[in-house]
Chains A and B, each alone.
Chain A
Amino acid sequence: MTAAAELIGVTQRFGSFTAVDAVDLAVPPGKLTTLLGPSGCGKTTTLRMIAGYSAPTSGTIRIDGIDSTRTPPEKRNLGMVFQSYALFPHMTVADNVGYGLKLRKVPAAERRARVMETLELVGLAHLAGRKPKKLSGGQQQRVALARAIAIRPRLLLLDEPLSNLDARLRVQMRTEIRRIQAETELTVILVTHDQDEALEMSDEMVIMNEGRIVQQGAPQQVFPRPADRFVAEFLGYENFLTAADGTPLTIRPEHLRLAEQAPGLPATVADVAFRGVDLLVSLDVVDPSGATVRLLADVRGGTAPAPGSSVTVVTPDDHLVRLPR
Chain B
Amino acid sequence: MKRPVTAALAVVGYLIMIVPIVFVVATAFTAGSTLRFPPDGFSLRWFGEAFAYEPFVEATISSVQLAVLAAALALLIGVPATLAIHRGRIPGKGLVEGLFLSPLIVPELVVGLALFQQLMVGLDLDNFTALLVGHTALMLPYAVRVTGASLALADPALEEAARGLGASPLRAFVNVTLPVLRPGIFSAGLLSVVTSFNNVPLSLLLQGRDFRTLPVTMLDYVQQSYDPMVAAASTLILAATVVIAVIAERTVGFAKIFGGISR
Residues of A that sit less than 8 Å from B by CB: 51-53, 72-74, 76-80, 82, 84, 86-90, 99-100, 103-104, 147-148, 151
Contact = CB atoms under 8 A, between A and B. Distances in A.
Contacts of B166: 74, 77, 100, 103-104, 151
A103 B161 CA distance: 13
Contacts of A82: 157, 160-161
A78 B155 contact: no
Contacts of A87: 161
Contacts of A53: 160, 163-164
Given A74-B167, A82-B157, A86-B161, 20 more contacts: A52-B164, A53-B164, A73-B163, A74-B166, A74-B168, A76-B164, A77-B166, A78-B164, A80-B164, A82-B160, A84-B157, A86-B155, A86-B158, A88-B158, A88-B175, A88-B176, A88-B179, A90-B180, A103-B165, A151-B165
A269 to B, nearest CB: 52
Given A84-B155, A88-B176, A90-B180, A100 B160 contact: no
Interface string B228-242: 000000000000000
A202 B47 CA distance: 76
Task: State the majority secondary structure of interface residues on A.
Answer: loop
Contacts of A99: 162, 165, 175
B171 interface: yes
A-B interface, 5 closest residue pairs, ranked by CB to CB distance from nearest: A100-B165, A86-B157, A103-B166, A86-B161, A90-B179
A18 B174 CA distance: 35
Q: Of residues B166, B176, B180, which shows the largest number of chain A Cβ atoms within 10 Å of its Cβ?
A: B166
Q: Of residues A78, A100, A148, which shows the largest number of chain B Cβ atoms within 10 Å of its Cβ?
A: A100
Q: Of residues B157, B161, B163, which shows the largest number of chain A Cβ atoms within 10 Å of its Cβ?
A: B161
A312 B26 CA distance: 95
B147 to A, nearest CB: 17
7 contacts: A76-B164, A78-B164, A82-B160, A90-B180, A99-B175, A103-B166, A147-B165
A87 B167 CA distance: 15
Contacts of B175: 88, 99
B139 to A, nearest CB: 26
Nearest to B176: A88
Interface in B65-112: none
Nearest to B179: A90
Nearest to A88: B176
Nearest to B165: A100
Contacts of B162: 88, 99
B180 A86 contact: no
Q: Of residues A52, A77, A80, which shows the largest number of chain B Cβ atoms within 10 Å of its Cβ?
A: A80
Contacts of B179: 88, 90
A303 B168 CA distance: 67
Interface string B40-71: 00000000000000000000000000000000
A86 B160 contact: yes
Contacts of B165: 74, 99-100, 103, 147, 151
A300 B85 CA distance: 63
A52 B168 CA distance: 13
Interface in B168-193: 168, 171, 175-176, 179-180
Given A90-B179, A90-B180, A103-B171, A74 B157 contact: no
A103 B163 CA distance: 10
B158 A74 contact: no
Contacts of A89: 180
A34 B11 CA distance: 60
Q: Of residues A72, A86, A100, A147, which shows the largest number of chain B Cβ atoms within 10 Å of its Cβ?
A: A86
B251 to A, nearest CB: 13
Q: Of residues A73, A84, A104, A147, which shows the largest number of chain B Cβ atoms within 10 Å of its Cβ?
A: A73
A10 B164 CA distance: 21
B21 to A, nearest CB: 38
Contact of A73 (B155, B158, B160): B160
A33 to B, nearest CB: 19
